[in-house]
């Protein structure tokens, strides 16, 4: 089935010519950002505001919030820099649930085996083992913060958490709150962050470059204050990158389920400072994105709908795949049906049908559990009990990212990563429910480790010398580029930082 998956198309990868991953495969669009020019230079920093803190967390989603909370628990003062606002992230879009082996018929070993197999045996076993072992305590921590989970029904349920199957799992393991689990998770994380007096939030402050010292250590970052239109330098003992993925790059021309700020900024900044990446030619295309109407293309329909028993049918009315196979298998099967002429075509859009009418006929209460399905169908202008939803795979998740150890540490001293910006945990395909677990497990670990890292703040001095080093490497290799990165927002956002900030180009 790999011949139909976007990762394996002829134009899907190139070798990186310079940097820590020289010779490794990378998606061409991402490679252009990694081997590019910076948005700013040293001369732009004069007059910039200076801030100091123990730990700088870059990213306002679930991983960033978990890292910030754990850092303050360890006694650190934290600045949390959010590109948009806290919670504006892919976390709130995670609908299906979170995996944790808490059932009597389940085990940590089964969770481990499912995750390794689902990732095509490409995940780092020590990271997977750590994540699945953290899962039960992560659930207890979230419940302690006030998160609500669905409870099992029936006379013998005794208040136990409800569990359901996900694609690629051998037993029911998904814990959820209806079909907006990520939104509920982000609610309690945001409230906890806002109540923590040791966390200073800087909303609408995208990071545009990391700071390094003369020894190559990461000692802070350069932020851009969108409201004041000015640069801010934050010096710190350690940085936690929790910037999320790259879905808004629309790789392979796909629509995406990702939030507006998912433009691979963390990968660009980490690569420039010398962090090694992995599996950056591997991306997840979620099987069930909206295909029609065109203006909603890419909007996510949760895997929870397939877990509830919905079937996929092609334009001939035929079921063509086991819907609870891993996501990459199901997505490839849909793309096969479309490519071989068995799809459904409407207004120039192609896809297949998610047979919601039969699901609702067999389970009339399902829309009370899958609230988001009803909302999406309403936006599409259909009654899901009468008309099936037309779907097509949507760019959903960045499988690879920055290499980390068990504490989220990279090969660059002082730089930690957590969440979708990291690689090695999910291999080359992620199972439903492991993303929300990942951000809590490694977010908490990275925050705690970062709090105990680094030099005394009075000795911290940083600049962008590492950026110049990569520029010189480009020159020696004869590489040219007219791209400046990180891009911060999708190209259709028409955002130019230098123009927005009123920065002048240096005269040669």
Mean pLDDT of 25-49: 95
Higher model confidence: residue 459 or residue 72? 72
What gap in Å lies between CA 50 and CA 342, rounded to an integer? 59
* Mean per-residue pLDDT over the chain, rounded: 95
424 touches 278 (CB < 8 A): yes
Q: Which of 327, 336, 430, 445 is catalytic?
A: 327
**Annotation says 430 is catalytic:** no
**Residue 380, SS3 per DSSP:** helix
In the chain the domains, ranked by start, together with CATH numbers, are: 49-281+399-452 (3.50.50.60), 292-396 (3.90.700.10)
CB atoms within 10 A of CB 164: 20
Q: At what angle do helices 265-273 and 465-476 cross, to 10 degrees?
A: 80
Q: Report DSSP letters for 107-128, one per residue.
A: -HHHHHHHHHHHTTT-S-HHHH
What gap in Å lies between CA 123 and CA 428, rounded to an integer? 7
Q: Residue 494: its pLDDT value, please?
A: 94
365 has pLDDT over 80: yes
CB neighbour list of residue 282: distance below 8 Å, 6 or more residues apart: 7, 122, 399, 400, 428, 429
Predicted TM-score of the model (pTM): 0.96
Q: Residue 1: its pLDDT value, please?
A: 67
179 touches 369 (CB < 8 A): yes
Q: How confident is the model at residue 156 (pLDDT cuts 50, 70, 90)?
A: low
389 has pLDDT over 70: yes
Q: Residue 508: its pLDDT value, please?
A: 42
CB atoms within 10 A of CB 507: 4
What gap in Å lies between CA 51 and CA 227, rounded to an integer? 17
pLDDT, tens digit (0-9, with 9 covering 90-100), for 396-413? 999 999 999 999 999 999
CB atoms within 10 A of CB 84: 18
Mean pLDDT of 314-340: 97
- Looking at the chain, the whole-number percentage of residues with pLDDT higher than 70 is 98
């Amino acid at each position: 089935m790999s011949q139909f998956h976007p990762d394996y198309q002829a134009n899907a990868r190139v070798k990186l010519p310079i940097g820590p991953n020289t010779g490794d495969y990378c998606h061409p669009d991402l490679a252009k950002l990694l081997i590019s020019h910076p948005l700013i230079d040293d001369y732009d920093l004069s007059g910039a505001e200076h801030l100091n803190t123990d730990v700088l967390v870059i990213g306002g989603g679930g991983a960033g919030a978990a890292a910030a909370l754990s850092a303050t628990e360890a006694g650190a003062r934290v600045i949390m820099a959010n590109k948009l606002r806290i919670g504006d992230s892919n976390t709130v879009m995670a609908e299906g649930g979170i995996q944790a082996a808490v059932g009597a018929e389940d085990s940590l070993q089964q969770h481990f085996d499912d995750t390794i197999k689902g990732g095509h045996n490409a995940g780092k076993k020590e990271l997977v083992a750590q994540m699945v072992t953290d899962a039960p305590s992560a659930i207890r921590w979230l419940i302690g913060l006030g998160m609500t989970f669905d409870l099992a029904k029936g006379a013998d349920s005794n208040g136990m958490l409800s569990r359901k199957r996900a694609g690629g799992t051998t037993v029911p393991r998904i814990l959820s709150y209806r079909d907006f689990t990520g939104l509920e998770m982000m609610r309690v994380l945001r409230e906890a962050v806002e109540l923590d007096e040791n966390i200073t939030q800087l909303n609408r402050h995208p990071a545009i470059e990391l700071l390094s010292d003369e020894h190559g250590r990461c000692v802070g970052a350069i932020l851009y204050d969108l409201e004041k239109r000015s640069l801010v330098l934050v010096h710190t003992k350690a940085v936690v990158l929790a910037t999320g993925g790259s879905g808004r790059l629309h790789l392979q021309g796909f629509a995406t389920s990702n939030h507006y700020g998912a433009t691979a900024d963390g990968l660009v900044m980490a690569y420039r400072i010398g962090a090694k990446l992995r599996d950056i030619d591997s991306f997840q295309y979620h099987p069930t994105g909206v295909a029609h109407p065109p203006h909603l293309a890419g909007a996510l329909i949760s895997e929870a709908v397939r877990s509830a028993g919905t079937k996929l049918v092609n334009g001939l009315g035929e079921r063509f795949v086991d819907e609870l196979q891993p996501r990459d298998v199901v997505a490839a099967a849909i793309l096969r049906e479309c490519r071989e002429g068995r799809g459904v075509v409407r207004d120039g859009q192609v896809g297949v049908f998610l047979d919601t009418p039969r699901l609702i006929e067999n389970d009339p209460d399902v829309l009370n559990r899958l609230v988001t399905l009803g909302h999406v169908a309403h936006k599409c202008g259909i009654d899901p009990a009468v008309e099936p939803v037309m779907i097509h795979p949507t760019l959903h998740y960045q499988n690879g990212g920055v290499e980390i150890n068990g504490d989220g540490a990279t090969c660059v001293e002082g730089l930690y990563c957590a969440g979708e910006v990291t690689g090695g945990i999910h291999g080359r395909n992620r199972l439903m429910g492991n993303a929300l677990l990942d951000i809590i497990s490694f977010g908490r670990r990275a925050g705690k480790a970062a709090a105990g890292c680094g030099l005394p703040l009075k000795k911290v001095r940083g600049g962008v010398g590492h950026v110049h080093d990569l520029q010189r490497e480009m020159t020696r290799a004869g590489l040219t580029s007219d791209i400046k990165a990180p891009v911060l927002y999708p190209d259709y956002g028409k955002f130019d930082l230098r123009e927005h900030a009123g920065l002048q180009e240096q005269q040669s």
